[in-house]
Amino acid sequence: MNILKDDNYIEIVMEEIPAPPQGRIGQWRYRVACSQPTIHVEEGNWPNHALDFDFDLFPSTFTISVRCHNDSSITILAELVIVDTNSHISWQPSQKSIGAGGSTELTFAVGLPRVRGQYYFDAILSFDGVIVDGGRWIINYS
């Protein structure tokens, strides 16, 4: 800024930054069941494929935790989408395989906008390209 000689007056407006949502806002617990006949499973019985999904939202990171309790491996394809009135941001599907009794996390770094408003966070879970579940969580910055 350029200050002139003698008196100068500057007025600054500062607005409170909306607090980002803290902690868990939703929990998505999914258990694969026999009612998904289109899902290809190489071995095992579906009721024994227990997959738990904890959908946590922290200020800058989405994490989907997946645990496989069965003795078969499975491939998880997850995609997160942020939709608001001005933009639609999506990530390329992130894919991981987990083995017997293993667990993994799919983490998405998210630049949360510091703009008041309502946002929808969509998560889609699919196995072998077949969508088996999805969820939407609404975040309100106010």
Partner 1 sequence: MGNDFSLPEGDNYLEIVMEEIPEIANLYVTVRDGAGALLPGVTISINGVPCTTGSGGACSFPGLTPGPHNGSSTKAGYEVTSVVLNGSPIPFSNGNF
Residues that bind partner 1 (CB under 8 A): 1-17, 19, 114
**Dihedral sign for Cα atoms in the order 127, 119, 55, 36:** negative
Q: Whole-number minimum distance, CB 18 to partner 1, in Å?
A: 10
Q: Whole-number minimum distance, CB 6 to partner 1, in Å?
A: 7
Q: Whole-number minimum distance, CB 66 to partner 1, in Å?
A: 35
User: DSSP class of residue 101?
Assistant: T
What are the Cα distances from residue 118, in Å, to 22, 76, 86, 112?
16, 29, 11, 12
How far is the C-alpha of 76 from the C-alpha of 104, rounded, in Å? Answer: 10
| CB nearer to partner 1: pick between 6 and 43 | 6
Q: Whole-number minimum distance, CB 113 to partner 1, in Å?
A: 13
Q: Whole-number minimum distance, CB 21 to partner 1, in Å?
A: 15
| CB nearer to partner 1: pick between 16 and 43 | 16
Closest CA relative to residue 56, chosen from 89, 38, 34, 80: 80
**Residue 71 near residue 61, CB atoms below 8 Å:** no
How far is the C-alpha of 35 from the C-alpha of 62, rounded, in Å? Answer: 28
| CB nearer to partner 1: pick between 17 and 109 | 17
| CB nearer to partner 1: pick between 2 and 87 | 2
**Which three-class secondary structure state does DSSP give residue 48?**
helix
| CB nearer to partner 1: pick between 12 and 109 | 12
